Structure formats: C-alpha cells, structure tokens
Amino acid sequence: MKKKNKKVKHIKNRKTTIPKSENRVPSGINELDAVMEGGFERESVTLVAGSAGSGKSIFSAQFIYNGIVKYNEYGLYICFEEKKENFFRHMAQFGWDLEKLEKEKKLVFLEYTPEQVKKMIEEGGGIVESILSKNKVQRLVIDSITAFTLLFKDEVSKKEAALSLFELLRNWKVTSIITGEVDEEDIERQKTGELQFEADAVMLLYFIKEQNIRKRALEILKMRGTKHAKRIFPMEITNKGVEISQSGAVF
C-alpha cells in the first residue's frame, strides 16, 4: 500500500491539495484550536475585541509566546499602551519569559505610538517591514487598534486608515492579531464596528458582571474559510494564561 501511494505522489501534472494543518496557525490553546479546525487561517488578520479587563493582551501575548516556543514561529508585538518592562513583568506571571525570547532574537517588542503606525502606513511599511524580513517574523500583534483610530476625526477616515493597515498586514504574509476595545454593552450586542467586516476573523472576549461576580467567556463571531464552533465558551485566566472549556454554560 505504501509503494502504491508513493507512485501516485510522483505522477506528473497531478493536482495536490495542501493538508489543512499546513494552512493553520495554532493558538497553542488546545481547546480553542480544536473548535476552529486547528487554528487561525495562515496569513489572516483576526480582530480580538473586548472590554477593559477581558484578557485581550494576555490572549495576544500567549499567541506570540506559543508560536515561538511550540511552533518555532518568530513574533513581533507592537504595543501602544504599556512599557516593555511592565509588559514583560506582567506576562512573566504566566511563565512566559519574553525577555529571554527577545535576547534570542525570536521576539521583537516595539513600544509604538499611534502616530508611528500612521507613519508606517504612509511609508508602506518602513522600519516594521525591515524587522519582519530581518527576523523572519510569522506572527504579529498590534495592541490596540482603538488607540490608532482615535487619530482620525470622522468614521470615514477611521475606516480608510484601518483598511490600509489590514492591506499592509496581508501584504506582509504574516498571521496577525489586532486587539480592539469595545464597551461592555456593545460586546454583548456583538457590535464591534466596521472593522469586523474587514477582518478575516473576529473573536469576542466577554467580561460580564452577574450580580457581584464577573465571568469571562470567548466567542468566535466569524472566521472565514473555517467551520468553527458557534457557541460561547467559558474562559478563565489561570497561572498558565488563557484557558477555555468546551463544557459548561456561561450565561
């Protein structure tokens, strides 16, 4: 049987399909990857939206860390709202030694301002494009697009700038996560703005108050080219980072 398969493989002009797993970029969170056909679609742009405290930055850092440690895919993290030293210290509580990965040149962390990202788009990539090429980056995070869109006065300008950013990310052939802050009421109504229509995938992180307790949850609102789960999953932030459960109810 093995010999027969080997002959078929070498028939000229025979069309072959790339295995599904090769088109997938695992998050490294096993329960999550299992409900989205093995991971994010390669070279896609995912919007991770949630209210303050929902775990967006932790989720994104985990995506970058797991990519380097588990899958040997180098990462770039562009952060607007936190200093590198503070960010590294906060993520160390999950056992993620980002400083070590940076020294090994597997991780690049940029403290950027929204104005610098705007300039990056105007220049068609600039220094970021050089970093991606030099460091063979395959995973990228921008945390968060909310700060970037505040630079623009009207909705049309915001949408045009976001579309330009998405186009740039896709041209770079990296798998990207962009975080966005959404008010709690809007996230419950699944209202994440115009960006949800342009992103290849949208994940919602809930942080809902029930009486005197807040509960976390995760939902895959959409994911192009993927048969993903339609339910909302209970989510916890443990000493190992984000974990989701495929059992139990949320609300």
State residue 10's pLDDT score: 37
State residue 191's pLDDT score: 55
CB contact at 8 A, 151 and 115: yes
pTM of the model: 0.86
As a whole number of Å, the end-to-end CA separation of the chain is 51
Assign 137 to helix, strand or coil. Answer: strand
State residue 17's pLDDT score: 38
pLDDT bin (cut points 50, 70, 90) of residue 15 is: very low
Q: Give the domain ranges of the chain.
A: 24-244
- 118/74: higher pLDDT: 74
Q: What's the CATH number of domain 24-244, 3.40.250.10, 3.20.20.60, 3.40.50.300, 3.40.190.10?
A: 3.40.50.300
pLDDT bin (cut points 50, 70, 90) of residue 249 is: low
pLDDT, tens only, 78-136: 998 889 999 999 999 999 999 999 999 999 999 988 888 888 888 888 889 999 999 99
pLDDT, tens only, 135-194: 999 999 999 888 787 788 888 888 888 888 889 999 999 999 999 988 776 665 555 566
CB contact at 8 A, 46 and 178: yes
pLDDT, tens only, 206-248: 998 888 888 999 999 999 999 999 999 999 999 999 999 987 6
State residue 7's pLDDT score: 40
Assign 85 to helix, strand or coil. Answer: helix
